[in-house]
Amino acid sequence: MMKVIITDDEVQIRKGLRMKVNWEEEGFQIAGEASNGVEALELLRSLDIDVVITDMRMPIMDGIEFAKRCQLEFPNVKVVVLSGYSDFEYVRGSMKEGVKDYLLKPVAPDELIEILTKIRKEIEVEKRNQAESARLQRLVHSQLQEVQEQFLLYLVKEEWLELGMVTERLRQLRLEELVNENTEVQFVTVEIRENTGNPNRLKELWLTFQMVCKEIAKGHFRTYSFYDPSYANMIHFILLLDSEKENSPVSLVKKLQRSVKELLNLETVIGIGNVTSGIANYKTGYISSLLAWSQSQLGSQSQVMDGSNVKKEVFEFSPDMERKLTNGIESVNYDAFKENIHILLGGDRNLSIMSFTFAANRVLFLLGSLAKKYNIETIDFQNLMWKCQQSIWELNSHNKVIEYLLQLAKLIIEKVQMARFSNGKLIVASVQQYLDQHYASEISLSLLSELFHINSAHLSETFKNTVGQNFSDYLVQLRLEKARDFLKDRQLKIIDVANLAGFSNSGYFSTVFKKYFGQTPVEFRNSIDS
């Protein structure tokens, strides 16, 4: 039942309006009366009101001034103004200033019913849209899902040293089924394209497209989705295959294309990657879906590019080569990096276009990971990354791709060199960024010293001098701040929050949390909505 306030300085007119129609039959309830705009605003501040019917001429605050104030404070409230013929043009001109509609005095019952019916339908649509928007926002702001997606992106693009650390984090994030090295997975890349000649629609519908993909992944057996900022208008899926191969990408692809077309009227271009197994091979699987997508034709028509039949031996990028390239960057040895790039991608190997594209993408992923590690966030660097990616997909200039990769490497090496001669400040900033991403893992100074090629004792001293607290205190504080964010998601139990934030048990977590914030985790959660 929608709630109404009647505002008029004459009691008889308010009574008359009450008797004009059967309000409940029309879906409304009169929740209060006011004799001027000031009283009406006071009621709005204490009651949940949908509609205000107000006279044009009233003392203290008239109907038009009230409508302006109401629009500022209560933009969702519909205001209907009552006016005489002499005020007709003035009221009509005020429609843009918060007045939803107007009625001429004396008010005819059928005209009042007509306006109420129109407003009721509008409010019903708005409330449905608001409810759907709130539901989607809850979905997009699910703390667990957000962190899951960030970690999946980390798995397929970043450098990680210890398999044990990765598998433990997967368990913390309720992604245990990815830990099994024998589990076969397939990556699916989905791009939306516009079919009406209005490119702005892609931007307008991007959030909704993300939500549609999240819901489809949630409802599809053993399927996860994530977003990679490097690729515009795309969402990526990891599909865990069962032993009977019944959980194939076919049903997922059909549902994606049908849902995006029906709900958003957009076309989809989908790339299906190779079947792979073991998290160490996820980068290979991810790139294979991107490679499949890259074989699509230009234009807005929907397409499915199945790259799962491409020979697996095409996709080769040894851990030894990855290590050599990384060492070239972090030891500030550009010549060594350049030599290994030519060994990997040079013309002497007679690589196929597909093999070259795969290997070049792996190098680009590696450079992107190192750039993130050393906090290279400049626009020029990002533009160069994008140009390099575009050259890789164009498949027609191997030398240009190699040139871009070498330029990127040189920029990263320069930043690494600066970090080495910054009295540790830049290294500490990079360590802090790393901790912000991996706070929940078993992180030690020895691991960080290995990762950033710096003596652990020197790192410990430099960290404390730069940050103002020692490494372990900083990490605990960081975990507690993250835990506070997780507590806002009421779907997570306290023990879940403790695990997600990197605490070994909920009892210790609660003790440390209260010491730091002055409240237990439960008390903090209860105070959020109070």
All residues at 6 or more sequence positions from 268 whose CB lies less than 8 Å from its CB, including other chains: 190, 191, 192, 193, 256, 257, 260, 261, 302
d(CA 389, CA 231): 9
Tens of pLDDT, residues 218-255: 888 899 999 998 888 999 999 998 766 566 789 999 99
pLDDT at 453: 80
Tens of pLDDT, residues 477-488: 999 999 998 888
pLDDT at 239: 94
Can you give the residue ranges of every domain in the chain? Answer: 2-138, 143-314, 319-420, 425-528
- Cβ pair 4, 31 in contact under 8 A: yes
Give the number of other CB atoms < 10 A from CB of residue 28. 19
Domain 143-314 shares a fold with domain 425-528: no
Bridge pairing between strands 2-7 and 234-240:
unpaired
Is residue 71 over pLDDT 70? yes
- How confident is residue 137, by pLDDT bands cut at 50, 70 and 90? low
Of 52-61, 207-216, 345-354, 388-397, least confident by mean pLDDT is 345-354
CA angle 345, 346, 352 (to 5 degrees): 65
Of 327-331, 420-424, 456-460, least confident by mean pLDDT is 420-424
CATH fold, domain 2-138, is Rossmann fold (3.40.50)
Tens of pLDDT, residues 503-521: 988 889 999 999 999 999 9
Q: Which of 72, 74, 60 is nearest to 5 (CA)?
A: 74
CA dist list (Å): 66 to 8, 85, 115, 137, 220: 12, 20, 20, 32, 51
pLDDT at 72: 87
What is the dotted CATH code of the domain comprising 425-528?
Answer: 1.10.10.60
d(CA 196, CA 320): 49
Q: Output the pTM of the full model.
A: 0.66
- Cβ pair 471, 463 in contact under 8 A: yes
Is residue 182 over pLDDT 70? yes
pLDDT at 293: 92
What is the dotted CATH code of the domain comprising 143-314?
Answer: 3.30.70.270
Is residue 311 over pLDDT 70? no
pLDDT at 93: 59
pLDDT at 134: 63
pLDDT at 407: 95
Is residue 92 over pLDDT 80? no
DSSP H stretches of helix in 375-455 = 379-394, 398-420, 425-438, 445-452
- How confident is residue 272, by pLDDT bands cut at 50, 70 and 90? very high
Is residue 422 over pLDDT 90? no
The rounded mean pLDDT for the chain is 86
